[in-house]
Structure 1
Amino acid sequence: MNAVLSAPPDTSPATATATATAMDAALAPVQEVIRQLLVPQVAKIDTDAHYPHDVMKALGQAGAFRGAASPEHGGNGLGLPHVIAAMTAVSRECVSTGFLVWCQTACARYIDQSRNEALKAELLPRILSGEQMVGTGLSNTIKSYDEIEAYRLSARRVDGGYEINGVLPWVSNLGADHLFTTGCPVVNAADGEGPVFVVVDCAQPGFKLVECAHFLALDSTRTMACHFKDVFIPDSRVLAHPAESRAYVRRIKPGMILGQMGMGLGLAEACIELMRQSNRTHGHVNCHLDDQVDDLAPLLAQALETTHALAQALLDNPLAEVVVDVLRTRLAGGELAMRCAHAAMLHLGAKGYLMRSPAQRRLREAYFVGIVTPATKHLRREIARLTRTTPEFSAQAVAA
């Protein structure tokens, strides 16, 4: 995963040491929440579709979301590297909760990258502290923007805002008192303009949440369908108007995609640890499997290093020319997560196949990392489109 950065961040020893110290201090209370609140609930989250509301609130209070916005609005100044580090720590134990952290922080970052200063001041401190839970409804928007599928929503410009209609499937981290972001085309927009991006209140008139089918994994993430019937979004809740949206997407999309690396990194690390544990008693037979700890651990280390470098580049400049590097890193990260989960399952053997085993849960979680927007096939398509090539995209090849 050797990314080529156009403007490498300051990596002087003094700067690196100060940043690492600040990061460790910011993550310490997050680790305590994970240990005390999350770990005891992991099985319930996985098997009972239990939404970890108390964990998310506590993570917010511990500062897990504060890298997603500027200090002016309650952020900690550590930016995307901190967001990914916190998500990685959570995902070592539970990718469902790690995904909820991504929803919360992605939405916060969308707001932070908008030009709506009043909305930032109103919402960001509450989102970063965990007082306000939020989701991100940009899966369909981004796939439609990239011409992979049709838009599910449409908006019309009206006095003082926009009126939205349609059905948006599979938006996560939702509830009656939650907010989320989405975007859709405006039917009466001028030629050449992009979608409008807005913040939606799940309690507002004309909007309805509908339960989805049950999922193989991550069924605890409050993933629902969103029905819009003449839903009015005032200009005060607009993140980007159609004339602004192309520049807005350019600011948010790389961070949105790279932010997901926390899920894959944490899961891969947990799976490698499962392999180590199994080798204490079964190393004499595990040694005949294709993937060993010594094969996967260096790939994980490289993924961590590249992810941090790219996150730092985007913190320094949201418009940094690292889009292809971000896509390749995210693709390789997802493939590495699935590879590590597969290896852990084979290392544990029959023990990994038990319902109480973390290995089978990790395998199910890993496939989510491979299919969540942008999915593996979406990432490969975008890399091919941007580079005008169709190379081999394996985790090992990209890391080479």
Structure 2
Amino acid sequence: QPISNTLFGRAAERMGLHPFPMPSANVTREYENPYGAKLHPCTYCGFCERFGCGYFAKADPIICVYDRIKEHENFEIRFESQVLRIEKSADGQTATGALYLGPDGREYFQPADTICMNAYALWNVHLMLVSGLGKPYDPETRTGVVGRNYAYQTIASVDAFFDDSVVTNPFMGAGALGVVVDDYNGDNFDHSDLGFVGGGYIACKQYHGRPISYQPVPDGTPRWGAEWKRAVRENYGHHGDLVVHGSSMSTPENFLDLDPTWTDAYGRPLLRMTFNFPDNDRRMSDYVMNRAVEIAENMEHVQSVTSSNLAAQGSNYDIVPYQTTHNTGGAVIGTDPSTSVVNRYGQMWDHHNVFVFGACLFPQNLGYNPTGPLMGLAYWTLEHMKNDYLPNPRPLMDA
């Protein structure tokens, strides 16, 4: 593992914390999955945290699933197509299929007995809203459910700058290469006098070192000019990158709805996001970030440490600096139709033949990326679809 990760782990252990390797979808040796897809050992090229892997060293559906099922008799994928809306039956109780735009620019209707909504979290919500699926959330009356409980992630960062004896080679990296401390995540620590709930993990990571996007410099460095260039040159190879990935608590004021003015290329209202960091999350992020600063200051050969909390008190959410793409909520799972879009089986309360997947189901966001729980929920929903719903289509829970 990179030397910055090693020094982070050592410092955390000396402080009584419990560091461990960051879980990853990259493989370190050749592997064949149950479908027969083969993955190759990662070459640590430093590209895959933003891009697919041309060497087949990172698990993704195209490599691990699609190539195995594309010739199956009951599978078809239609490329260069855009689903415009889901159509409903005359009584509005079920969906009848999907209207989509094909690669020839013509609209087509695909009838369906059962529909699975598998888009990205935000786009599932958008498709529900433009299709009239479920009751939209109204922030004034706090009634309705589609768009409710939008949550984000709360990110802070810490930069450790080492002396010349530590060479970090940041251009060598992988999509999730790092060492993690989980002692300040969720309920792993005492919140009694802290004034917030939630938490986050602290990781020292080495994902990439591409020179256009990776230019770490200490505090006080000019933002341009000869001094800035010198600082980039001198610090590029002597830098440790720490991140705090914090939870996000949903509030009535943070929600998704349809924009009253702007439309997309297909004439549909754009999805509008109303969001700012809740005070709870600001306090949480500041607290965990300061714990990360303490670890960084205890790392060997560190000369200086800087920190940045994107949810700092007095600041507003800004979409410009990249923070995270793990948006959650908007179509949450639950047992009460007045507060959730789908029941505990991922089935829409209002349209029993529509099943929903993805992070839009989450009522909050944890201090972790949601991949693991999402896969668990997908298996759970598919199990009940296959064994309970398809033999006898109906609502699986009473509203």
Q: What TM-score results when the alignment is normalised by the length of structure 2?
A: 0.20
The answer to which structure has the higher helix fraction is: 1
Q: More strand per residue: 1 or 2?
A: 2
Larger radius of gyration: 2
TM-score, with structure 1 as normaliser: 0.19
